[in-house]
Structure 1
Amino acid sequence: GLGRLPGTDGKAKMSKSLYNSIYLSDSPDTIRKKIMSMYTDPNHVQINDPGQIEVKTVFTYLDAICSDTDQLLKLK
């Protein structure tokens, strides 16, 4: 099963009090804004810079919800 996901800010877990949660009741626009503002690798400044997948919250979410493993590997 799916365990806890980190908060959108990369903290240990989502928390209502930290305002880093995505709710099932959020509108598609709100969800998009939250995803687009997620914590990512601060060392990956330019497109050609090597990235560290393990510190990218976005990939933690993709690992949890993406069923297309080929597409997921391409993104990584």
Structure 2
Amino acid sequence: MYVPLFADIIAAERWLMIMPMAVGTSVCAALVAAAQMQNNSFSHEQKTAAGSTHGFIFLLMLAAVCLILQIVGFKNYEKKEKQ
């Protein structure tokens, strides 16, 4: 391996791990803020809990989609290896 590029590869890998976490945090914060801005009879704590629940459901659906994509990708990889 070309040694001077190793640091660049590590930096790119860290960026690829950090950016999705930052985006996920921003989306969840936006969901909580949107729930807190609703004009209904719930208390601020109940609105925060509802927004957090919506954020959790969003992340759970995203995790399920990622799992499905990984399974499909692995099966496609197995088919190509057998050929």
TM-score, normalised by the number of residues in structure 2: 0.22
- Structure number with larger C-alpha Rg: 2
Instruction: Return the structure number with greater helix share.
Output: 2
TM-score, normalised by the number of residues in structure 1: 0.24
